[in-house]
Amino acid sequence: MAVLQKLTSEEAISLEKKYGSNTYKPLPVVLSRGEGVFVWDVDGKKYYDFLSAYSAVNQGHCHPKIINAMVEQAQTITLTSRAFYNDKLGLYEKYTCEYFGFDKLLPMNSGAEGVEAAIKVCRKWAYDVKGIAENQAKIIVCNNNFHGRTTTIVSFSSDSTSNTNFGPYADAFINIEYDNLEQLESALKNNPNVAGFLVEPIQGEAGVYVPSEGYLSKAKALCEAYNVLFIADEIQTGIARTGELLAVNHENVKPDILILGKALSGGAYPISAVLANNDIMGVMIPGTHGSTFGGNPLAAVIAIAALEVVKEENLAENSKVLGELFRSELNKYIETSSIITKVRGKGLLNAVVVNDTEDSKTAWNMCLKLRDNGLIAKPTHGNIIRFAPPLVMNREQLLDCVDIITRTFKEFEN
Ligand SMILES: *Cc1c(COP(=O)(O)O)cnc(C)c1O
State yes or no: pLDDT of 240 exceeds 70.
yes
Question: Ligand 1: distance of its center to the CA of 20 in Å?
Answer: 21
Determine the average pLDDT of the residues in 189-203.
98
Name the pLDDT band for 224 (thresholds 50, 70, 90).
very high
* Whether the predicted pLDDT of 182 surpasses 80: yes
Q: 330: buried, middle or exposed (CB in 10 Å: 19+, 13-18, 0-12)?
A: buried
| Residue 170 banded pLDDT, cuts 50, 70, 90 | confident
- Split at pLDDT 50, 70, 90, the class of 190 is very high
HSE of 345, CA atoms in CB hemisphere, 13 A? 37
Give pLDDT tens digits for 352-362. Answer: 999 998 889 99
**pLDDT for residue 177 is more than 80:** yes
If DSSP codes are grouped into helix, strand and coil, which group holds residue 220?
A: helix
- Residue of 261, 240, 130 whose CA lies nearest to 192: 130
Predicted confidence at residue 25, as pLDDT, reads: 94
Q: Is the CB of 235 under 6 A from ligand 1?
A: yes
Burial class (CB in 10 A: 0-12, 13-18, 19+), 82: middle
* Positions marked active-site: 146, 233, 262
115 lines ligand 1 (CB under 6 A): yes
Ligand 1: residue whose CA is nearest its atom 6: 111
Which pLDDT belongs to residue 1? 61
C-beta of 121 in contact with ligand 1 (< 6 A) = no
pTM of the complete model beyond 0.85: yes
The average pLDDT across 380-402 equals: 96
Mutation pick for ligand 1 pocket among 202, 262, 378, 381 (CB with most ligand atoms within 8 Å): 262
For residues 5-30, average pLDDT: 96
> For 141-155, what is each residue's pLDDT tens digit?
999 999 999 999 999
Q: Is the pLDDT of residue 171 over 90?
A: no
Tell me 328's DSSP state: H
Alpha-carbon distances of 22 from 110, 188, 389, rounded to whole Å: 20, 40, 27
